[in-house]
Homo-oligomer: A and B are copies of this chain.
């Protein structure tokens, strides 16, 4: 744990930065492959849209997980690069479709593709990237890997639909929330680490450990994101606060508060979430209710528990600098809340 005085320095070199440094050569190959495969001979609109998104400096966390898993287990072949590009393409395809579904205007600090071009392009270019990811993974010729990525794709799509119907519905409980989180984040994290291990010939215990790590990391990451959307540990309004509230998404802090609501609070949540009748000052009121029920702290404890589970899963993997960095990463995704 770092003292508060180090946090500014620490923020400059994150565990993810260290992963990037340790895997710099592999990541260069992944980026080259992504650029090569996102092209289209016939439809120039495709590289325009994908370049906008892919070159926008996303964190490339998922491909790093695949590369780290494979290298930690001593892989010396080249298929981990293909699989890393595969998971990034799947991720990018889901971002394009998410932005259409959420009617988003900004992503990674830039206007979204649906805003710059149109929803049509985002839907179809997303489909194209999904197909390209499929071609890439088939090239590995590893049926177990294909099975895992096919299942992950179905879980992702199912989670997105579930989120659509669970939004605006106060009956959404923690079990449904966990299902949504697995779909929108953890399924691809888990598949990313698992396929990295499989391609490296990991044994069953190691594969299970990698899967557990990715799953728990993804859940911790998403809970932390959902907490940050309500202003983080302090629950105060910042520039990125309140998107989920405005979109009437039920995330863990609100689910906890709804479960403990008195009659007046219940009426408030019904108005702003179920009926979508939101007025000036409602976000501040929501944050006050979250503070009253300690919902943020309870959600943070939940994220910490998943983070600890991710770190424990690593015990079943070989001692390696990458393992240490993955452990630090699991700590970091929640620690950013403090």
Nearest to A139 among chain B residues (CB) is B147
A206 CB within 8 Å of chain B: no
Residues 152-172 of chain A: 1 if any B CB is under 8 Å from the residue's CB, otherwise 0? 011011111110110000000
Q: How far is the CB of A141 from chain B (nearest CB, A)?
A: 6
A151 CB within 8 Å of chain B: yes
Q: Give the distance in Å from the alpha carbon of A153 to the alpha carbon of B138 in the complex.
A: 13
Residues of B contacting A179 in the complex (Cβ-Cβ under 8 angstroms): 42
Residues of B contacting A161 in the complex (Cβ-Cβ under 8 angstroms): 40, 43, 45-46, 121, 124-125, 128
Chain A residues at the B interface, C-beta cutoff of 8 Å: 40, 42-46, 94, 97, 100-101, 119-121, 123-125, 127-128, 130-132, 134-135, 138, 141, 143, 146-147, 150-151, 153-154, 156-162, 164-165, 176, 179
Q: Can you sample 5 A-B contacts with CB below 8 Å? A: A45-B164, A46-B161, A132-B154, A135-B151, A138-B147
Residues of B contacting A97 in the complex (Cβ-Cβ under 8 angstroms): 123-124, 127
Q: Given B43, B46, B158, which contacts A43 in the complex, CB threshold below 8 Å? A: B158
Residues of B contacting A164 in the complex (Cβ-Cβ under 8 angstroms): 45, 120-121, 124
Cβ of B162 and Cβ of A43 under 8 Å apart? Answer: yes
Cβ of B120 and Cβ of A101 under 8 Å apart? Answer: yes
Cβ of A154 and Cβ of B131 under 8 Å apart? Answer: yes
The verdict on A153 contacting B165 (CB below 8 Å), with A101-B123, A119-B119, A179-B42 known, is: no
Q: How far is the CB of A64 from chain B (nearest CB, A)?
A: 24
Q: Given B100, B119, B132, B150, which contacts A134 in the complex, CB threshold below 8 Å? A: B150
Q: Given B101, B124, B128, B130, which contacts A124 in the complex, CB threshold below 8 Å? A: B101
Q: Give the distance in Å from the alpha carbon of A158 to the alpha carbon of B126 in the complex.
A: 11
Residues of B contacting A119 in the complex (Cβ-Cβ under 8 angstroms): 100-101, 119
Cβ of B46 and Cβ of A158 under 8 Å apart? Answer: yes
Most buried by B among A121, A138, A176: A138
Q: Give the distance in Å from the alpha carbon of A138 to the alpha carbon of B151 in the complex.
A: 10
Q: How far is the CB of A78 from chain B (nearest CB, A)?
A: 18
Cβ of A135 and Cβ of B154 under 8 Å apart? Answer: yes
Q: How far is the CB of A116 from chain B (nearest CB, A)?
A: 14
